[in-house]
Structure 1
Amino acid sequence: MCCGRGFPLQVLLTGGQAGEAPQLPRLLELEEKKPKVLVADKGYDSQVVRKVLREQSIRAQIPERGLPEGNKRRRKGRPPKVSRQMYRQRNIIERLFGRLKEMRRFACRFEKLADSYLAFVQLAFMKICLKPYFSDTP
């Protein structure tokens, strides 16, 4: 999870086979200050995720998944409204992962133990957060 400026807020390490969307409620529990808006891609389009966000009064900017030709919508009611301008902000988290993947150790996952890998991810996050303060270029 990251803020609107691209700085990491929370990280939750799971097994490689675990999906991202089911981890969202746990990730939101870790965060002290609840976000007003959550921008996510179509992978997070599930009734469970939308229900959790509604319960916590967080506005969801998640587009509906496309359906194969001839299939009906999965849920009743009107489709969720997604602001195109707000949805464009989703690239911020993608850029954060891009910066992490520039670090070979993160991309190749040399650490085999979860604790040491999480420690490296946290160090990488610190490097990203501190770079503007110790860099000659913006």
Structure 2
Amino acid sequence: MTVIDHGADRPVHRQLADLLRADIAAGRLKPGGMLPSQARLMQMHDLGPVAVRQALAILRAEGLIRTVKGEGSTVMVYDRQPYRVAAGADVEIRMPSPEERKQLKDAAAGETEMPEGVPVAVVKPGPRKHRVLLRGDRWRLVFGDEPQS
């Protein structure tokens, strides 16, 4: 196990984010799999709660993990359906606002809001000539003549 260097110039929360990112990239943390709890990460790496929360926030912002309050953090699973983007459409990829996270919740999955760390695509105009808001964990954009596969 790689350890956090508390004397390094690099902040400890960034070191933890690097370690977790490497575990995801190497497949040691698998898509859909749970990350260790915040308490366990604190214990494993001799860190305080702020450093652990900051590290997880970095990974959420990168779209690598999702966090559900009361459940913990999991590695993102991207099994997305194709969404054909009309020629000339304007597409913006960004993190959603709190209101959009509530709007895009999956009630059938028991979500009260879309988890943190999931980006959205805003397509203007969509096939219906109005703005379409798509969850990044559910949809894959297909442009022009690309096959939808």
Length-normalised TM-score, structure 1 = 0.27
Length-normalised TM-score, structure 2 = 0.26
Q: Give the structure with the larger helix fraction.
A: 1
